[in-house]
Amino acid sequence: MIAARLKPGKAASAERELGAGPPFDPAEVGLSGHAAYLTEGDVYLLFEGEAARSTALHLAREHFVEVSRWQSMVTGLPASVAAVPPDARCLYYWKAETAAEP
C-alpha cells in the first residue's frame, strides 16, 4: 500500500484519475488485487500479489506519462503505509478471479 499527500484543492482531479482505473491490466502484470482509495487529503494505492512492490515500481517506470500527471496533484514522495484509513472512499477495486473448486 502506498500513499501520497494531495495538494490543496486537488481531490476532485485525483478522483477523476482514479475513477478511470489504472493505465494497465492488473491481471496481465501479475497482480492478485489492486485498489485505489481517496480522502480529502490523501490518495492510497493497493498492489497485491507476489512481488507486488517490485511490480508497482516497474509500472511507475513503464507508465511515466500517466504517473507524471500526478505531479500536479500530489506533494512530496509516496510512502508505504500499513492500512487505508476508515474514512477513505474506494474509487477502484479489482480482485483476480480464483479457480472454482470442484
Tell me if 5 sits within 8 A of 68, measured CB to CB. Answer: no
Helix segments in the chain, DSSP class H: 11-19, 52-62, 64-69
In this structure, the dihedral spanned by the alpha carbons of residues 101, 48, 28 and 19, taken in order and rounded to 10 degrees, is 110
pLDDT of the residue at 67: 85
- Work out whether the CA dihedral 19, 23, 28, 29 comes out positive or negative: negative
Q: How far is CA 101 from the centre of its chain?
A: 30
Domains and CATH numbers, the chain: 2-95 (3.30.70)
Checking if the pLDDT of 11 tops 90, the result is yes
**pLDDT tens digits along 38-89:** 999 999 999 999 999 999 999 989 998 888 889 999 999 899 999 999 999 9
* 49 vs 34: CA distance, rounded Å: 9
